[in-house]
Amino acid sequence: MPSPSSDHPEGTTARRSWGSFLATAAVAAVVAGADQLSKAIALDQLSETERIPLLGNALGLQLAFNPGSAFSLGENSTWLFTIFSAIVAVGILFVARRITTTRWAITVGLIWGGAVGNLLDRLFADPGFGRGYVTDFLAYGNFFIGNLADIALVVGMILGVLLTVTRRDEAEHAQQSATATDGQQAT
């Protein structure tokens, strides 16, 4: 992407933000779509009682329905998770409008798509609107069963942490370089 020019900094920044927003929305749409498609296939092809091993006992396919959050915590508060997920999804919409880099567009898109993928289950899956159970099918040993939205959320959060740490390192390096340059010019 071109850097903002001194002649038109606001227009260039606005174009960059709009392009980054579209990239964020596209990543989110792909993630949410892939998540919902994979869940539809899982509902059609998998069983709650039989596990299909993919990597021995470490990874397999088995259908599960989660009324709670990660590790089925809060099973009796499904409606609270629906409200929280909706707030997060709308909140990310506002954050996405301020993104100006491709790396952050992808990162936020992964998180947004994962949040929307699981929110759709909460809104439209059984047992009813706003109380729906999240469809899971990726069995990680005997630890937990998740889905593609969960993977996108975790990867997005890890990338967010890495981008934040990298940005701090880059800022510190730039500041040290500027200080060193100023010191050399003073002599």
Give me the active site residues, please.
136, 150
**117, 146 contact by CB (below 8 A):** no
- Angle CA(35)–CA(37)–CA(41) in degrees, nearest 5? 115
139 in Cβ contact with 149 (< 8 Å): no
Q: By the 8 A CB rule, do 63 and 48 touch?
A: yes
Cis peptide before 9 (omega within 30 of 0): no
Angle, nearest 10°, between helix axes 9-45 and 148-186? Answer: 150
Q: What is the torsional sign of CA 169, 174, 177, 183?
A: negative
Beta carbons within 8 Å of 109's beta carbon, 6+ residues apart = 23, 24, 25, 26, 27, 28, 31, 96, 156
